[in-house]
Amino acid sequence: MIWTAAALLTGGFVLRLAGLSIASRDLVRPFIVSLVLCAVAFVVLGRDRFVSRLTPIVGTPATRPIHVAAISAIVAVAIAAAWSTRAAGGSDSSCYVLQADALAHGRASLAPVLTELPPGMSASALAPTGFIASPAPPHAAVPICASGLALMMAPLLVVGRDFVFLIVPVFAGLLVWWTFVFGLRVADAGVSACAAILTGCSPIFLYQAVQPMSDVPAAALFMGALVFALRGGRRHAYVAGGLASLAVLTRPNLAIVVAPLVLLLENGASRRFLWFGAGAAPAAIVMLLLNVARYGGPLASGYGDSGSLFAWAHVAPNLARYPRWLIETQSPLLSLAVAGPAILWLRGHGRLALVTTAAIGAVCATYLAYTVFDDWWYIRFLLPALPILIVFMTITLFAIATRLSPAHGRAGAMLACALLVGWYLDVAQRRHAMDLRALEARFRVTGEYSRALPANAIVLAVQHSGSVRFYGGRPTLAWDGIEPAALDGVLSWLRDRGFTPLIVLEDAEEQRFRERFGSQRQGQLDWPPSTEIHARVRVRVYDPSQRQPYLAGRTIQTEHIR
């Protein structure tokens, strides 16, 4: 188990002893070996001695599940922090960290890079990835994504830029823990601990827990709201309302998911509703005020036209995708979750069965109608429902196992959960959850490189516009906001105003850049890059001022960063 944990936390390691090298990068084989060794120890030592040896580590039978769940939550935080990409990379992650930076400096949006637009460039070029330009001059950049995660990140920027990347790992641990606490309401502690461990090992959970995105925080906030709504009492109702409102601030479409939680407030007592509403009010007010400041209306957002995002035409193709992806990554055992509400009903938790079923249905219905995507990791949208589904699956698994074999069914169900953990880790590894840090490293390297650029540098970039701004503090323009016949003119306009324009492109972007600006002298990139960053994905920095000297016969030295 320690070997598996070491490989999981480090991404693999090499031990060199007396000239002998022992390498370990696989997660599943050492885990299976540990299970076999545990089984051998159980047989050799006998049940009582085996359990007594484990007691100092995992506690007595009464406290063991709590210890296991707590350890699982701590491990989830450690793994998410150790494997965090720590990168303002794609559209979503760039949106959150740049938005947090603006909020930390008292701004609701990003200050405009230019006070006027050069001919042939649209206002959209002023917005980095994850942002859009506000319609009115001076065209400040406003975020596409919601503000909840960024608001929680912003205070940490006072401590240091890297601290913003700790928010998601903390929520990863809370999601695992609150899954356990929720399980205690409907099952015993052993079943709940198994569900918590499975949640923490879920491939999509691991995939998203290492990225500065809102999926894991939104799921954790919803689970927290559910847990506190179940506890009763004014203070718990207040906390439930606050967490529910933060969940909506983080993921606005969760409004229809958290609404049924009020039905759990101690038989619907009116005072509990008021306390829930009081807890929800602050975050709701913040969201409305930010929407007005950014988009001009309390219900406006940066997501665009809801009519194009949500449509009946999306349902059929999404039905062909999401169920298949869930089965492929969570195993066919997840289908056992359909029996969960019935089991809850039979155990006297009818209202909870209705509320959780409604929440799951609302999450699924929302994203079945949402834009169609072709990558498996878009099941991240379903993360708020996944812990409940895993609890339902685990309850059903234990119920079936104990019904088939009252004497040994529980042990068999635990063994099945242990094997499922190994399978989850294998799927996560094969689906590159543990490769994201290396893959996204190019954003951080490029951003940190840009710190050394001249103070008057302005960078034409799309994919790296967020990283250049966040790490390097240099202004950017999105080259895809420049008309195909205007590149040369825009570059001259920028030079005339004292800027030093540079172009930053990934390998995949270079061909699109050449095709877009094929009629422009500087659009062919027919001179060597000034810098080449060698990572999983290569990044090149071109200085247009070097083109003429190069064509005149001057040698251009390319700096290589590895």
* Residues whose CB is less than 8 angstroms from the CB of residue 262 and which lie 6 or more positions away in sequence, other chains included: 229, 268, 273, 276
Same domain, 218 and 334: yes
Residue 252 placed within a domain: yes
Q: Within a 10 A sphere around the Cβ of 47, how many other Cβ atoms?
A: 10
- The domain in which residue 296 lies consists of 165-434
Largest CA distance in the chain: 86
**Domain shared by 263 and 345, yes or no:** yes
Of 434, 469, 498, the last residue of a domain is: 434
In DSSP notation, 285-346 reads HHHHHHHHHHHSSTT--SS--HHHHS-GGGHHHHHTTHHHHHHHHH-GGGGGGGGHHHHHHH
Shared domain check, 356 and 487: no
Taking CA atoms, 255 is separated from 54, 79, 222, 224, 360, in Å, by 44, 30, 10, 15, 13
Both 357 and 255 in one domain: the answer is yes
Q: Which helix (H) or strand (E) is 241 found in, with range?
A: helix 234-250
Judgement on whether residues 325 and 365 belong to the same structural domain of the protein:
yes
As a whole number of angstroms, the distance between CA 322 and CA 373 comes to 10
List the structure tokens of 350: 């009818």
Burial of 374 (0-12, 13-18, 19+ CB in 10 A): exposed
Question: Other C-beta atoms within 10 Å of 561: how many?
Answer: 14
Residues 411 and 452 in one domain: no
Q: Decide if 172 is inside a domain.
A: yes
How many domains does the chain fold into?
3
Residue 420 falls inside a structural domain: yes
137, 170: one domain: no
| Torsions phi, psi for 506 (to 5 deg) | -85, 165
C-alpha 384/C-alpha 373 separation (Å) is 19
Output the pLDDT for position 13. 47
Contact status, residue 185 vs residue 349, Cβ threshold 8 Å: yes
Structure-block tokens of residue 96: 């959150």
The contacts of residue 530 (CB under 8 Å, 6+ apart) are 502, 541, 542, 543, 546, 556, 558, 559
User: What letter does residue 472 receive in the DSSP assignment?
Assistant: I
Give 72's Cβ-side CA count (13 Å radius): 27
Structure-block tokens of residue 325: 């992806």
The pLDDT of residue 266 is 65
Domain assignment present for 77: no
Give φ, ψ of 537 to 5 degrees.
-120, 125
Q: Yes or no: say if 66 and 60 are a contact pair by the CB < 8 Å rule.
A: no
Answer whether residue 79 is part of any domain.
no
Profile the chain (562 residues) by mean pLDDT over runs of 10 residues.
53 52 58 67 69 63 83 94 90 94 94 92 94 82 94 92 94 98 95 97 97 97 96 90 96 93 73 87 92 86 75 94 96 96 94 95 95 95 97 97 92 94 94 92 93 95 95 95 97 96 96 96 95 94 96 93 90
* 337 and 359 housed in the same domain: yes
pLDDT value of residue 456: 95
Domain boundary among 434, 457, 488: 434
Query: Is the same domain home to 134 and 193?
Result: no
pLDDT of 23 reads 54
Q: Are residues 48 and 100 in the same domain?
A: no
- DSSP, res 471: I
With 0-12 / 13-18 / 19 or more C-beta atoms within 10 angstroms meaning exposed / middle / buried, residue 52 is exposed
E strand or H helix at 14: strand 13-17
Do the domain assignments include residue 257? yes
In this structure, the answer to whether residues 519 and 488 fall within a common structural domain is yes
Distance between the two ends of the chain, CA-based, in angstroms?
34
In this structure, the answer to whether residues 425 and 502 fall within a common structural domain is no
- 219 lies in some domain: yes
Is 78 contained in some domain? Answer: no
Task: Please say which residue of 379, 409, 434 terminates a domain.
Answer: 434
